[in-house]
Amino acid sequence: DIVMTQSPDSLAVSLGDRATINCKSSRSLLDNSNNKDHLAWYLQKPGQPPKLLIYWASTRESGVPDRFSGSGSGTDFTLTISSLQAEDVAVYYCHQYDSVPYTFGQGTKLEI
């Protein structure tokens, strides 16, 4: 199974500041057939299912604000929130969809 490890486990950021969350996979997620990384980012608020933010490591899902961006390739990935808003308080997860079993990081709790 591909193990996904996020850092840090929790993060406190001031409103308007940048937040950075890292994710490392135990195996490369790069698909050489299309040069895309099978990596997604989600946020989850209490009582709700996860919400997709980013897929293919850097493609923003429709309707996601452009303050959210994803980067990285291979085994190392980053989610950046350029200017933190109050509504961004949530738990963030990375997820690999390169192969089953699909796996997720342990989550990063983002607080103000």
Partner 1 sequence: QVQLQQSGPGLVKPSQTLSLTCAISGDSVSSNSVAWNWLRQSPSRGLEWLGRTYYRSKWFYDYAVSVKGRITINPDTSKNQFSLQLNSVTPEDTAVYYCARVSPAFAYWGQGTLVTVSS
Residues paired with residue 76 on neighbouring β-strands, in sequence order: 24, 73
Among 106, 109, 111, 112, binds partner 1 (CB under 8 A): 106
- Work out how close the CB of 51 gets to partner 1 at its nearest, in angstroms, rounded to a whole number: 8
Q: What is the DSSP string of 21-65?
A: EEEEESS--EETTTTEE-EEEEEE-TTS--EEEEETTTEEPTT--
Among 50, 68, 92, 110, binds partner 1 (CB under 8 A): 50
Among 38, 68, 88, 110, binds partner 1 (CB under 8 A): 38
φ, ψ of residue 80 to 5 degrees: the values are: -120, 130
- What does the binding site for partner 1 look like in residue numbers (CB under 8 A)? 38, 40, 42, 48-50, 52, 55-56, 61, 93, 95, 97, 100-104, 106-107
